[in-house]
């Protein structure tokens, strides 16, 4: 099945939406302060780089997808 450009953008948008929901839920349950998560606070903005959280999600998804397949 060949996807056209519009379909690809829709899939990318849905993936980003789901990732945003996952990160907000993880933050709500306290998983946002893992070692490796970088938080840079300045006067005007706060930059949050969830490296540790991304690694944890990647490991969990790798195991889940390995056993589903």
Question: Per-residue pLDDT tens for 12-52?
Answer: 889 889 888 877 787 777 766 778 888 889 999 888 888 88
Q: Are 38 and 48 in contact (CB under 8 A)?
A: yes
The reported pLDDT for the residue numbered 2 is 63
Global confidence as pTM: 0.52
Number of domains in the chain: 1
Q: Which domain holds residue 57?
A: 5-68
Q: Please choose, from the candidates 16, 49, 47, 53, the residue with its C-alpha nearest in 3D space to the C-alpha of residue 31.
A: 53
Specify the 3-state DSSP secondary structure of 68: helix
Mean pLDDT along residues 54-59: 85
Q: Please choose, from the candidates 38, 56, 35, 57, the residue with its C-alpha nearest in 3D space to the C-alpha of residue 48.
A: 38
The reported pLDDT for the residue numbered 69 is 67
Residue 50: CB atoms within 10 Å:
20
The reported pLDDT for the residue numbered 68 is 79
């Amino acid at each position: 099945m060949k996807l056209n450009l519009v379909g690809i953008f829709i899939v990318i948008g849905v993936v980003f939406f789901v990732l945003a929901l996952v990160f907000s839920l993880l933050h709500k349950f306290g998983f946002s302060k893992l070692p490796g998560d970088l938080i840079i606070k300045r006067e005007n903005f706060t930059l949050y780089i969830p490296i540790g959280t991304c690694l944890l999600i990647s490991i969990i998804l790798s195991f889940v997808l390995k056993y589903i397949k």
